[in-house]
Structure 1
Amino acid sequence: MLPTPHVSCDYDKVYEPSEDSFLILDALEKEQAFLRTYFRSKPTVVCEVGCGSGIVTTFMMQNDIPNEHAIYLPTDVNPWAMDSMVESASLNNCCTKMLSPIRTNLTSSIRPREIDFLVFNPPYVPAESVPYMPLDSEANEGDWLDLALLGGDDGMAITWKLLDSLDKIMAPGGIAYILFCARNHPEKVVKTMSTRGWKCELTEHRKAGWEVLSVYKFYR
């Protein structure tokens, strides 16, 4: 079993790694051999959308996931997550890696069709609406945590924004790993994405307390 990275962040401002974070780590470890074969030794642009504490991107850097030639472009709208990402990478001696965190909404600041490998642990908790994006000068600490958790109707409002843009943001041959809870109805997502020509595979599945979580792989 690969070691879990140490993280450095203020959990009043940045989402604390939990069962969903660890499920993604397990999924990536399970897929490590496949990914190294799939991407071989070519330069690979990696984007974790919503990097939060930085635990997932740091884990990938520690273990050369998907390969040793990866360039890491983690994104988050939370300004505190940018600091946490860099600090967590430093704490785990990953600063020599090609790392460039980007503060942006989803992948809007990354060039189209540039991402080879995408990981997304979205705000998947169903809610009446998606929280508004606060101005930095107006934001309370809890506002950033709500953005990391609440996903609107069926918890899928933000996830569908990314899924609907996969064709535009992913490079040819790109792969995306996305986490869902049972209330997101991932079986419906798979049906819809399959009609769009995406292959959808369940990679990892686990009951976590009152919730059932899963990680699906999407690729052409």
Structure 2
Amino acid sequence: MLTRRSFTFLSLASGLTACVQPQDNAVTRAESVSAVPPPPPMPEFYGAITDEPFPIPAIPPGSVRPELWRQEVANPWPERVRGTIVVDPDARLLFFLQSPDRAMRYGVSVGAQGFSWSGTARLQFRREWPRWKVPDSMIERQPELEPYSVANGGMDPGPGNPMGARALYLFQNGEDTLYRIHGGATPEGLGRAVSSGCIRMLDQDAIDLHDRAIHGADVIVFPSIQASDAPPLY
């Protein structure tokens, strides 16, 4: 027979069971969260650079997908001359062809829709910590950039200058295309179509490419068939 006393005991026991169960679930959830592996460490060459005129911070772990890390790969275009630079904007990758067999590959961000450029250009010259001289076409869209126009001498190099630590200047038939391969990319922007046409790299990668690049080499930028990820950054 179920007496008042036994009923009370069973009710208390049920209440205790109900209280204990969420704690077990909480432990399970905590264990599940702790089981998520930490992001892979960034290669050492993405560490902070302190011997440049301006400091370059380290790239935080987990902020760049491994497939966008700088790495040596098989050369996809072995018939092309050593030193050729090839940009595949839809893959968000830049290749520096080292030999018929090997290439150095870098992750990049590329031009947003309506601002991208494609074709074959000549690497006319390179600059360390370049000035940013805003072309008139950009000032028409963003009048607030007038202080950094060509006529006004551009923006001083250093932190805040979107050109970053290095720039490669692309010419076609002897004329400046106004498009550049340069540093200044943020980890969160890498691998996206977000700029006003230029090819942006992490500063660590831009320095590496600058040191490898060959004056007068071909720079081939494939046309993009994908939509933009966001409005241009500048």
TM-score, normalising length from structure 1? 0.26
TM-score, normalising length from structure 2? 0.25
Whose helix proportion is higher, 1 or 2? Answer: 1
